[in-house]
Each structure stands twice: as C-alpha cells, then as structure tokens.
Chains A and B, each alone.
Chain A
Amino acid sequence: MTSESTDPNPRSCTHKDFIRLFLEAEKDLLRYVMVLIPNVADARDVVQEAAVALWDKIDLYDPGKPFAPWACRFALNEAKMFLRKKSRQNRLADEVVDLLEIERMENADRLDARKDHLRECLRSLPSKNAELVHDYYFNELSVEELGKRFERSIDAIYKTLQRVRQTLHACIENKIQLEAKL
C-alpha cells in the first residue's frame, strides 16, 4: 500500500504540480483579470484569491488539458466578486462584464498573437518614451514619481502613457496587416 492511497482526499494533482501549473499560468490569469480590473495591485490580490479557489477545486481539473483556460474562469469569477464587493458605481455594468468575459476567452489566441507583436513594438519606441513606460510598468513608479523624474506635470505623464499605448496598438495593427499580406 502506498502512502498516496492512504490520503483520505486523493488529488489528481500534487501541491508541487499545482504550484508549477499556477506559476506557468499566473501571467495569463493576471491578463484575464485586468480586462475587468485595470489596477495591477488589485488584480494581483484577485489572482491570489483565485489561487485559493483553484486549489480547493483542483480535483475537478483534468491534467490532460491545458491549465490556464480552466483556471481563468476562476480568476474571472474572483474578479467579478471583487467588483461587486467594491460596489463602486463608476464601474462597467454587469452585462458588459459578462460579454467581455466571454469575448476575452474567445479571443485568447488572437490576443496572445498581439502580445508577441507588442514585444517587438516595444523595442521600436523612442528612447524617452520607452524609458517612461519601463519606469511605469516595470519599475512600478507612480505618475507622481515619474512627473518629478521627467520634470513634467502628472497630467502630461498620463497623456504620454496614453499616447505610447496608442502608438504600440497602431504598431501591432500594422504588423498584423503586414503578416496578412505575406
């Protein structure tokens, strides 16, 4: 008799396996959650909550299938609960959230392909803009800190960030169009 067979709650996935699967899927889960919750710190809290829920339900997971698509439903569910708890009035309506949740999953492959292009587009940014988005997204500097560092108003920093995102979006579009032509 092996030690596993004495476990009153035999699981198809050990804790170690789960950690590995979760770490692999973590970035994708955050991307799913951030469709509804743009604040990265909040999104991380939500994904952490989702991790607990996932571990509770891990017996339902079929190891023969990819983990991330299965897990993302939990993450999105946690995200919706988070939004309800916050009960902020200036948030998206529930029916829109449901639509976005469905379409996010339907568009997973398309958005993954866009993400690959984003990596290239990021490299073609002018150095000043690249430095700014790097400080904002990677170093997680606040807009106030960025304002001081770049000697610009907070509003100007927000505007630049918006502009850079739009430049990156346009760059991705171009790459996709070019790909389609080839």
Chain B
Amino acid sequence: MKEKELRNLIDGHLRENLDLAGAKKLSDHLSENADARKLYLEMTDLHASLAVDETMWIEQPEWVEKEEAETITSFRTYIPWALAASVVFLLSLLFWPKQQENQTFALIKDSYSATWEGGDLTTAVGSRLGDGTLRLTEGLVTLQFDSGAEVTLEAPVSLRLIDSMKCELTNGTAVTYVPESALGFRIITPEADVVDYGTRFSVTVFEETGETHTRVMEGKVQVEYSRTGEIVALSAGERHTVKGDGFAIPPAETFRELGTIPDKPLQHGPEWTFFESSKDAFVGRIPNHLFVTDDKEVVNLLKDSYVPAIHNHNSKVLLLVKNAISQGPMNRQAYMSFDLSEIDLTSVEEADLLLQFAPSGWGLASHLPDSTFNVYGLAGEVPDWDETGIRDQFPGTPETIYLGSFVLAKGIQKGRFGVRTEDLTNFLKTRTHSQISFMVMRETKETEDGGLVHGFASRRHPTLPAPTLAVRLKTP
C-alpha cells in the first residue's frame, strides 16, 4: 500500500467515514505493517492532542484573543472532569501575559536607498517593529527578528510581520537568513508556506498571479502548498515555483518580468535635441511621448539589443546587463545605435546618454553592492548590425572607447541614469559616420551567484523611454 493511501485511510478513520471495505483494508495493513502502525499511532495521537489538550492553544496569535468570549461559552460541556480542566485553563489564561498592543519582535537593521509607501509601521533604521505591514517601493532593507532570523526585503515588496517566527510576503522578494535559534522560521505566501530549517534562501511572490518562487542558497527549506498540502523539500542550489493556482511548474517556465512604472519627465532646457528610438514597433505607444516636443525633431531610426540571448531568460522590452561571478552566457552587455545624420557632429557642445532602468525580475539585489556601469563608444570597424539578428555576441571586433560611468546604489533597480562627460562629447565630435553606437556593461560583479540582472528600457518598451541621446549644439 502506498503511504498516501494509508494516510487517506487513517484520515477516513479519524472522520469515522470508513466503509466496511476501507476499515478492512486499514485493519489488514495495520496488522501486517509495523511502520503503518507507527504512522497510525502518530496521526491518532496528533488528532487526540489537538482535541483534548487545551494547553495547545495558549499563546496563540491575536485572533484567539478576539474569540475568547465565544470560546469560553462553547468550550466543553463535559462535567466534572472537563469543568475542572476548564478552570485550570482559564486560570492559566489569567496568568499568561496578554499580548501588549505595542509589543515588538523585530527591528530595522539596515537600509539602502529605501523609499517607503503606505504601510503601518515606522521605517527608520533601528525602529522596533511589531505586528503590521511594510511596503518598500525602492531599495533594500534588512529586518532582524528577535528569533535571530534576518530578512532582507528587495523593493518593490510588501511584507506583513506576524511574530518573531513568521511573516507573510504578498509581493516582491525577501532574502532570508535563519540561524539555529530561528529554525522553523516561516514565510507565508498566497499559495504556499516556505519553512526554513537553518539556511539562506529567497522567496519572490508575484502579486498579480500569486506565483511563488523559492531559491535555496544554503541548507534546506520546505515548501508547503496551501491548497494540496503537498510538501516539497529543497536543498542548496535548488529552485521551486508554485503557480498562482497552487500547483508547481517546471523551473524552465518560471521566468517572467516585473512590471515597470513610468518616470518623471527629463529636466533639459529647450536648447537640447533628443534622439531616441522609435516606439512604433509597439502597440500601446503613448501619443506625444514625453520627449517629443513641437520644436524638436525626433529621429526614428535606431536599434538596440543585448547579447547574449539565453533561452527562457530574455526580455522583450528591457536591455539586460549583468556581470556574474562565473563566466558564461548570463553575462550580458547592451548595445544601441543612433542616427545623427541630421546634425553637424562637429557642432556638438555637450551630450547626455540616458538610460531608463527598470526591475528585470531576475536575480537578487542582495547579492550585489553599489553597481558601476561603464559606457563605451564603438569605433573603428563597426559593422551595420542587425538588431534582431545578434544573439551570442556583437558582430565584428570594433574598438571600444571608454566614455564614462554611472552608479546604481545597492537595492536601486529603477530610475534614469546615464553619462554626460567630455569624453562623450569628444567621441561624438570626432565621428566620421552618422550612425553612432554605444555599449553599456556592468563593471561590478555580483558577490554571490544569482545576483540581480539589471535592465533598462529598450525601444520596444511600451511605456518607459528608450535609450536617449540628448545633444546641445553650438548656437550659430
């Protein structure tokens, strides 16, 4: 007999729901199999302990307190023994310290570039936290629970703190470290509970779908499905996904993109000209896009891409950039070209290359310090590259000229960044071709495998501005 069938029969017995055949089957199996009897004794004793040992229910979360009055009236009609037991129970309730409304069990240990929204808890570093919800829209924040568990929240994220051994993640990513003192620390998600048995792991919840991704860096965790009761044990290096409907899906199908949000308009004066990529390729283009003004011409011939492409790990709308610990296809650089045939390059006074970053949904921000990005101009033999055709590497061997760098602080995944340097200006002024190409790479490596993949909007992004080159020309 399979264990599942045995468990169902034992459950039928507890429900007093077994028919003659079921009772015989259970009886026969129990008489033959010592392990089955062991399980039977464990399950019946668990059922009995829950039913008769009222001390099990003391020191429960606040919902017990709310129901106390109802509980006492409905509890036990059994006299005299249970009445005495009830008295013991009620006395024990009296002596048990009631939970204070301001009871706290965690504190904000660290914060990087954090921006908070809503929520009902204080958010300064060092603040003590009790039951309540935190909503982080930007940055990284590390919480230290009194149990010893440490949870780093990666924006955008929404987390409800329940007690020192439990929290509920409704959206976003939480990276958790659990020392021995907090074994059994639990992250509740819409479709599953992730229980930690001394390890480091990350959990990501996609709010719109309820999907839960779990990844174990060290040790072991257990994913407990809310709907089916299924339990999956994960070891270091393993990943697991629970779909929004409460069932598992294979890891290969789990990659998806986070939503991105619009940003504020650029602060450039009227003397600037903007060159950005065409948005025509995308349905949902915003009319009178924020860069288009009446007196400025927008050049609609551009291309951008990144290399290499990896099966099931691509973005249609973002240009992905990464520098992993290991060598391999996960290391990406982005390329873009602008057609500047409409202007006299020698008259460029100043230039600004602008990139709109947005969360890619891949990798952990916790595994990355402040990240420096370098921008290079492509010179020499630059091939006429095909945006849709490059997959593994950029064609040819063009010379790369360093033009400048910018930094995204730890935890920052979105916003407008770029370079405005003399090197960039000089690079443009000295081009002999009107098609100008750039390469962007992340200089900073992740500190640990599985670090964040940065992404910025491509010209196919439906709402965010594409890579933009703004130039200020010498006034005639």
Given the complex, which residues of A lie within 8 Å of B46, measured CB to CB?
114, 118, 165, 168-169, 172
Residue B320 is within 8 A (CB to CB) of chain A in the complex: no
Nearest CB to that of A34 among chain B residues?
B48
Give the dominant DSSP class at B's interface.
helix
Instruction: A100 to B47: give the CA distance in the assembly, Å.
Output: 16
Q: Which B85-108 residues have C-beta < 8 A from chain A?
A: 85, 88
Given the complex, which residues of A lie within 8 Å of B31, measured CB to CB?
93, 95-96, 99
Nearest CB to that of A20 among chain B residues?
B84
Instruction: A125 to B51: give the CA distance in the assembly, Å.
Output: 17
Give the dominant DSSP class at A's interface.
helix
Given the complex, which residues of B lie within 8 Å of A115, measured CB to CB?
45, 49, 53
Instruction: A121 to B222: give the CA distance in the assembly, Å.
Output: 14
Given the complex, which residues of A lie within 8 Å of B18, measured CB to CB?
90
B54 x A138 contact (CB < 8 A): yes
Residue A72 is within 8 A (CB to CB) of chain B in the complex: no
Residue B290 is within 8 A (CB to CB) of chain A in the complex: no
| Candidates B8, B13, B26, B48; contact of A30 at CB < 8 Å | B48
Q: Quick one: CB contact mask for A137-166 with B, threshold 8 Å, 1 for yes?
A: 111110000000000000000100011111
Residue A65 is within 8 A (CB to CB) of chain B in the complex: no
Instruction: A31 to B54: give the CA distance in the assembly, Å.
Output: 13
Nearest CB to that of A45 among chain B residues?
B78
B85 x A165 contact (CB < 8 A): no
Instruction: A99 to B34: give the CA distance in the assembly, Å.
Output: 10
A123 x B59 contact (CB < 8 A): yes
B7 x A92 contact (CB < 8 A): no
A38 x B13 contact (CB < 8 A): yes
Comparing A3-11, A55-63, A127-135, the segment that makes contact with chain B is A127-135
Quick one: which of B18, B53, B76, B197 has the most chain A CB within 10 A? Answer: B53
Given the complex, which residues of A lie within 8 Å of B53, measured CB to CB?
27, 31, 115
CB distance from A72 to the nearest CB of B (A): 13
Nearest CB to that of A22 among chain B residues?
B81
CB distance from B339 to the nearest CB of A (A): 56
Q: Quick one: CB contact mask for B424-456 with A, threshold 8 Å, 1 for yes?
A: 000000000000000000000000000000000
Residue A103 is within 8 A (CB to CB) of chain B in the complex: yes
Residue A81 is within 8 A (CB to CB) of chain B in the complex: no
Instruction: A39 to B166: give the CA distance in the assembly, Å.
Output: 33
Residue A35 is within 8 A (CB to CB) of chain B in the complex: yes
B40 x A100 contact (CB < 8 A): yes
B52 x A167 contact (CB < 8 A): no
Given the complex, which residues of B lie within 8 Å of A53, measured CB to CB?
none
A169 x B60 contact (CB < 8 A): no
Instruction: A178 to B184: give the CA distance in the assembly, Å.
Output: 10
B49 x A31 contact (CB < 8 A): yes
| Candidates B42, B197, B224; contact of A167 at CB < 8 Å | B224
A131 x B63 contact (CB < 8 A): yes
Instruction: A162 to B27: give the CA distance in the assembly, Å.
Output: 20
CB distance from B221 to the nearest CB of A (A): 11
Instruction: A178 to B182: give the CA distance in the assembly, Å.
Output: 12
Instruction: A22 to B84: give the CA distance in the assembly, Å.
Output: 11
Instruction: A50 to B262: give the CA distance in the assembly, Å.
Output: 74
Instruction: A126 to B168: give the CA distance in the assembly, Å.
Output: 9
B60 x A134 contact (CB < 8 A): yes
CB distance from B76 to the nearest CB of A (A): 8
Comparing B66-74, B200-208, B351-359, B402-410, the segment that makes contact with chain A is B66-74
| Candidates B13, B15, B52, B168; contact of A27 at CB < 8 Å | B52
Given the complex, which residues of A lie within 8 Å of B49, measured CB to CB?
31, 115, 118
Question: What total of chain A residues lie within 8 Å of the partner, measured CB to CB?
Answer: 65
Question: What total of chain B residues lie within 8 Å of the partner, measured CB to CB?
Answer: 74
Q: Quick one: CB contact mask for B13-26 with A, threshold 8 Å, 1 for yes?
A: 11110111011101
Residue B82 is within 8 A (CB to CB) of chain A in the complex: yes
B51 x A34 contact (CB < 8 A): yes
Given contacts A30-B52, A35-B44, contact A167 B229 (CB under 8 A): yes
Residue A124 is within 8 A (CB to CB) of chain B in the complex: yes
Instruction: A121 to B55: give the CA distance in the assembly, Å.
Output: 14
Given the complex, which residues of B lie within 8 Å of A111, measured CB to CB?
41-42, 45
Instruction: A130 to B14: give the CA distance in the assembly, Å.
Output: 19
A51 x B81 contact (CB < 8 A): yes
Nearest CB to that of A162 among chain B residues?
B11
| Candidates B23, B85, B184, B229; contact of A23 at CB < 8 Å | B85
B56 x A126 contact (CB < 8 A): no
Given contacts A115-B45, A131-B63, A178-B183, contact A167 B81 (CB under 8 A): no
A91 x B57 contact (CB < 8 A): no
Residue A52 is within 8 A (CB to CB) of chain B in the complex: no
B11 x A139 contact (CB < 8 A): no
CB distance from B176 to the nearest CB of A (A): 14
Residue A171 is within 8 A (CB to CB) of chain B in the complex: yes
Instruction: A178 to B37: give the CA distance in the assembly, Å.
Output: 23
Q: Quick one: CB contact mask for B223-260 with A, threshold 8 Å, 1 for yes?
A: 01010110100000000000000000000000000000
CB distance from B403 to the nearest CB of A (A): 52
| Candidates B22, B28, B52, B195; contact of A40 at CB < 8 Å | B52
Instruction: A124 to B184: give the CA distance in the assembly, Å.
Output: 8
A23 x B44 contact (CB < 8 A): no
Given the complex, which residues of A lie within 8 Å of B59, measured CB to CB?
123
Q: 5 extra interchain contacts, Cβ-Cβ under 8 A, other than A127-B63, A129-B226?
A: A30-B48, A30-B52, A43-B52, A103-B37, A121-B184
What 6 pairs across the A-B complex have the smallest Cβ distances?
A163-B229, A34-B48, A90-B23, A30-B52, A137-B50, A93-B27
- Chain A residues in the interface with B (C-beta under 8 A): 22-23, 26-27, 30-31, 34-35, 38-40, 43-44, 47-48, 51, 89-93, 95-96, 99-100, 103-104, 107, 111, 114-115, 118-124, 126-127, 129-131, 133-134, 137-141, 158, 162-172, 174-175, 178
